């Protein structure tokens, strides 16, 4: 199939065989800037020359670099335009010549610019609040239309006045915000060609740092090896870097400073006073920088820098003590001496002590110096963060001063010391004289001298009346001397004490007295009290003299009997005269006085020991003690407990926890019962109480815990019972062995019951076990024998010998036997009609 072009050329050749025909292929051309394109000029007929001409009319020469003409054969020539630009546009002409024959053809070359993004950088960064100009430079011919998109949607500048598309195609965002950050699409279109292209531009909004100091002021103490922490918190985008400066010098990590990873915390090590000042925290990023100041206040603990010992002489006009200190805040300085504190101003009514302070210096002025001013003075410098103390010593030189009592009492054959106490500085030498002769002399063998740094003792063992009298002590140092006369006086026996009152009871009497008017010069060592039936021999007892001894109890008296009583005092010299006899009559036999009670909680908090101290027995021996107790909130008393006459306590066990009880104890003799002694007490809180488990908690329930406790208690009982069986032949196993196995029980128990050392009775009570322990010290008093006094008086026996009273300790002097009385449910202790002799 013939091509149309070949057909046309054939017709032209046939019709114009003699003419020259020129045709350019392609007939027109469009070239994008930067592209290359060629055009073929074909000649029909004989042509000697084929030339191309530029739009300017100039013949295109072969040596041009941008446009090249090449002739392939005699009928064709090629025009090639390389890397076209806008100057390459125009009408190019191809001319064919052969002699005088010429033909030409032209081609219109158009140069167009494709969409080209000359500048559309990504990312583009802006500071928050700035008017952002997002650059997107696009060229094309014809010029393109620009469309901006954000988050997949076309930006509607009519709806948001902050957005505006500039004439150059840039997108302007007024007062750009952090929320405007993201990817933007710059799209260029050329409608004539249907050409489209775009660029994605990342917009980054940088935020100016904000900075806040955690503390605007930081306090630190210097010279104690402490550190100070300065901190600021910075925010911004991108994350700012933080640096610190002090006195315009950037601080770096090192021996003095340390910084955390982001630099927000500055630690100043081993703070000194020179570190005080303002520190600047600077936060910086691409958006800019911000700074905040932190003040470091460095305080210095007080330190006393000057304080020296001073020396003065007594009666000097004045002496001044000076104390200097350093510290920040400026410390206040005070002085103290012998528990007296001296501060600014006059410190005594006589104006002899004055304190003056200026800045960091304080002076303590002592006027009219006395020897009593000597000693250790304390200077104290203090401020709000601490204090410093230092001592200094004021040495006062003074002449000797002799102190101490001037009279000494003794008697012949009893050595005595005359004490000459000397205060002096410097130390003094001491010499003793009598009648102008220095002691000891050659003819004095009964005198000795003993010296210590501050005291001289003259020991005299008088062997005659001549040794009593005046002795002289003379003390001497470089500043002077002092003498003092001492008297050695013959001691006398004391005068008689004065009986103030005799308070008789049935079998005892309490003698109240006043000490003698004259002690005889030496202390009273004992008091002697004597009593008798009128006309009979005196019976007496001696009692050590105590500061609070004003009453003596005499015991073992007969009821309704008249007695005489007298007293005398004894000192080292001997016994003084007796006081006039005082007559009294004892009371008839009556009920005993109520005992005195004490309560002591035992190791297990619901067991208590109630102890009593026997008072006057009313002239008849105590038969027994009756004990009743009950919880205060109930009206019914527990069964009465009967305790033997020589018992002094009862154990109450099995009591309710955390309950207040009251106890009545009554002493009974043949005449009747005493008034009840009453005492109240509260038991401890149950230690086994277990609080309810927390909601949703896990663990054993209360029932399980109680069950475990019961099992443990049962095992303990079994263990104790087995131990009792093998060791003491008693207990539940022993009872089973005796009753079911035919074994013989221990005979000691039945023998004890026969001897009356233990009594067991039963009633219908079901109360807890009550244990009564008794301690015997002698056989029971049968009808008017000696009985126990109360707890405030000593014991006496008929022969006048003193028996040490230990009732205040709740125990008797001798413990010969112990009996145990126990009540169990349905049992309560009772004495039988004949009464136990326990």
Q: What is the pLDDT of residue 835?
A: 37
pLDDT higher than 50, residue 762? no
Sign of CA dihedral 80, 84, 88, 91: positive
pLDDT at 27: 84
**Cα torsion 449, 455, 461, 465: sign:** positive
**What domains sit in the chain, N to C, each tagged with a CATH number?**
21-113 (2.60.40.10), 118-207 (2.60.40.10), 212-299 (2.60.40.10), 308-398 (2.60.40.10), 404-490 (2.60.40.10), 498-586 (2.60.40.10), 596-682 (2.60.40.10)
110 pLDDT above the threshold of 70: yes
Distance of CA 152 to the CA centre of its chain: 64
Measured CA to CA in angstroms, residue 613 lies from 34, 620, 811 at distances of 131, 17, 9
What digits encode the pLDDT tens for the residues 305-324? 999 999 999 989 999 999 99
| DSSP bridge partners of 471 | 486
> At 201, is the secondary structure helix, strand, or coil?
strand
Query: In whole angstroms, what is the distance from residue 444 CA to residue 459 CA?
Result: 12
pLDDT for res 749? 41
* Residue 755 pLDDT: 38
Rounded Cα–Cα distance for residues 256 and 278 (Å): 16
Spatial CA neighbour of 573 closest among 450, 748, 744, 413: 413
- The mean-pLDDT minimum among 222-236, 445-459, 652-666, 789-803 falls in 789-803
pLDDT higher than 80, residue 166:
yes
Determine how many CB atoms are found less than 10 A away from the CB of residue 467: 19
Q: What is the DSSP letter of 705?
A: H
Give the Cα separation of 406 and 409 in Å (integer).
10
Whether 649 and 641 have beta carbons less than 8 Å apart is answered as no
Q: What is the DSSP string of 758-812?
A: ------S--PPPEEEEEE--SPPP-SS------TTS-EE-TTS-EE---GGGT--
Higher pLDDT, 702 or 821: 702
Total Cβ atoms within 10 A of residue 808: 9
d(CA 625, CA 663): 13
3-state secondary structure of 541: strand
In this prediction, residues 376-391 reach a mean pLDDT of 92
Looking at the DSSP bridge assignments, the partners of residue 822 are 771
**Highest mean pLDDT: which of 161-165, 723-727, 785-789?**
161-165
Q: To which H or E segment does residue 709 belong?
A: helix 702-728
Cα 639 from Cα 621, distance rounded (Å): 25
Cα separations in angstroms, 372 against 375, 479, 804: 8, 16, 49
How sure is the predictor about 5, in pLDDT bands with cuts at 50, 70 and 90? low
Q: pLDDT value at position 831? A: 36
Contacts of residue 631, defined as CB under 8 A and 6 or more positions apart, other chains included, come to 656, 659, 660, 661
**Contact present, 202 and 186 (Cβ < 8 Å):** no
Name residue 723's beta-bridge partners: none
Q: Which residue has the tokens 């006045």?
A: 161
- The whole-number pLDDT of residue 778 equals 39
More confident residue, 816 or 703: 703
The model's confidence at residue 183, banded by pLDDT at 50, 70 and 90, is very high
- Of 61-70, 123-132, 395-404, 651-660, where does mean pLDDT reach its minimum? 61-70
Q: How many CA atoms lie within 13 A of 327 on its CB side?
A: 24
Question: Does the pLDDT of residue 693 top 50, yes or no?
Answer: no
Q: Give strand pairing partners of 624.
A: 644, 668
For the chain, what percent of residues have pLDDT higher than 70? Answer: 83
Q: What angle do CA 469, 475, 480 make, to 5 degrees?
A: 135
129-133, 225-229, 524-528, 668-672: least confidently modelled range: 668-672
Contacts for 513 with CB less than 8 Å, ≥ 6 apart:
497, 498, 499, 500, 527, 550, 551, 552, 567, 579
Q: What are phi and psi of 112, to 5 degrees?
A: -125, 155
Q: Give the list of residues 6+ apart from residue 812 with CB closer than 8 angstroms, or none.
A: 646, 648, 775, 776, 777, 806
């Amino acid at each position: 199939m013939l091509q149309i072009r070949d057909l046309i050329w054939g017709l032209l050749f046939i019709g114009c065989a003699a003419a020259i025909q020129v045709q350019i292929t392609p007939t027109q051309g469009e070239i994008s800037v930067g592209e290359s394109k060629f055009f073929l000029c074909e000649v029909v007929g004989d042509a000697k020359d084929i030339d191309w001409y530029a739009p300017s009319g100039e013949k295109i020469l072969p040596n041009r670099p941008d446009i090249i003409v090449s002739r392939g054969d005699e009928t064709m020539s090629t025009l090639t335009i390389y890397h076209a630009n806008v100057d390459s546009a125009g009408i190019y002409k191809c001319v064919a010549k052969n002699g005088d024959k010429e033909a030409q053809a032209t081609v219109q070359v158009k140069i167009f610019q494709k969409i080209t993004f000359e500048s559309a950088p990504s990312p583009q960064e802006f500071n928050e609040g700035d008017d952002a100009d997002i650059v997107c430079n696009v060229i094309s011919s014809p010029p393109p239309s620009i469309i901006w998109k954000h988050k997949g949607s076309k930006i509607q500048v009519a709806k948001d006045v902050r957005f505006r598309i500039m004439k150059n195609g840039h997108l302007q965002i007024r007062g750009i915000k952090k929320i405007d950050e993201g990817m933007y699409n710059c799209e260029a279109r050329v409608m004539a060609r249907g050409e489209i292209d775009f660029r994605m531009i990342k917009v980054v909004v940088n935020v100016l740092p904000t900075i806040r100091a955690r503390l605007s002021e930081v306090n630190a103490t210097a010279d104690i090896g402490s550190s100070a922490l300065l901190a600021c918190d910075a925010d911004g985008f991108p994350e700012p870097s933080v640096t610190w400066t002090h006195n315009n010098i950037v601080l770096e990590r090192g021996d003095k400073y340390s910084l955390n990873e982001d630099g927000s915390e500055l630690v100043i090590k081993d703070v000194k006073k020179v570190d005080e000042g303002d520190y600047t925290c600077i936060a910086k990023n691409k958006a800019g920088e911000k700074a905040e100041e932190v003040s470091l206040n460095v305080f210095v603990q007080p330190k006393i820098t000057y304080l020296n010992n001073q020396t003065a002489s007594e009666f000097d006009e004045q002496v001044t003590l000076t104390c200097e200190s350093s510290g920040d805040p400026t410390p206040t300085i005070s002085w103290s001496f012998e528990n007296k504190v001296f501060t600014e101003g006059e410190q005594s009514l006589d104006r002899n002590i004055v304190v003056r302070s200026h800045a960091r210096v304080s002076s303590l002025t002592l006027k009219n110096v006395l020897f009593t001013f000597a000693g250790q003075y304390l200077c104290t410098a203090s401020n709000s963060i601490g204090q410093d103390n230092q001592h200094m010593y004021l040495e006062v030189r003074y002449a000797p001063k002799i102190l101490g009592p001037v009279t000494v009492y003794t008697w012949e054959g009893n050595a005595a010391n005359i004490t000459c106490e000397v205060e002096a500085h410097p130390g003094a030498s001491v010499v003793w004289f009598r009648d102008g002769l220095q002691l000891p002399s050659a003819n004095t063998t009964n005198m000795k001298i003993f010296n210590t740094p501050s005291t001289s003792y003259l020991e005299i063992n008088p062997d005659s009346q001549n040794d009593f009298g005046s002795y002289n002590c003379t003390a001497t140092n470089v500043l002077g001397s002092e003498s003092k006369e001492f008297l050695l006086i013959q001691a006398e026996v004391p005068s008689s004490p004065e009986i103030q009152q005799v308070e008789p009871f049935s079998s005892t009497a309490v003698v109240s007295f006043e000490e003698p008017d004259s002690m005889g010069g030496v202390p009273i060592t004992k008091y002697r009290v004597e009593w008798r039936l009128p006309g009979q021999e005196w019976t007496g007892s001696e009692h050590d003299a105590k500061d609070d001894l004003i009453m003596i109890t005499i015991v073992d008296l007969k009821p309704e009997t008249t007695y005489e009583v007298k007293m005398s005092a004894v000192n080292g010299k001997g016994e003084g005269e007796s006081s006039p006899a005082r007559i009294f009559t004892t009371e008839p036999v009556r009920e005993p006085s109520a005992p005195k009670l004490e309560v002591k909680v035992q190791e297990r908090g619901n067991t208590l020991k109630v102890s009593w101290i026997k008072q006057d027995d009313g002239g008849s021996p105590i038969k027994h003690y009756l004990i009743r107790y009950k919880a205060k909130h109930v009206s019914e008393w527990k069964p009465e407990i009967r305790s033997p006459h020589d018992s002094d306590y009862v154990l109450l066990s099995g009591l309710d926890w955390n309950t207040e009880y009251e106890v009545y104890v009554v002493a009974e003799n043949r005449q009747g019962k005493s008034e009840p002694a009453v005492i109240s007490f509260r038991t401890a809180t149950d230690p086994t109480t277990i609080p309810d488990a927390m909601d949703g908690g896990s663990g054993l329930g209360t029932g399980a815990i109680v069950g475990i406790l019961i099992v443990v208690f049962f095992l303990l009982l079994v263990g104790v019972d087995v131990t009792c069986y093998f060791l003491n032949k008693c207990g539940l196993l022993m009872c089973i062995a005796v009753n079911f196995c035919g074994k013989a029980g221990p005979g000691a128990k039945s023998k004890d019951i026969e001897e009356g050392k233990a009594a067991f009775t039963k009633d219908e009570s079901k109360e807890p076990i009550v244990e009564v322990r008794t301690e015997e010290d002698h056989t029971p008093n049968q009808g008017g024998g000696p009985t126990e006094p109360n707890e405030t008086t000593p014991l006496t026996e008929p022969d006048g010998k003193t028996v040490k009273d230990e009732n205040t300790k709740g125990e008797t002097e001798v413990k010969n036997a112990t009996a145990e009385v126990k009540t169990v449910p349905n049992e309560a202790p009772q004495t039988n009609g004949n009464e136990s002799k326990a």
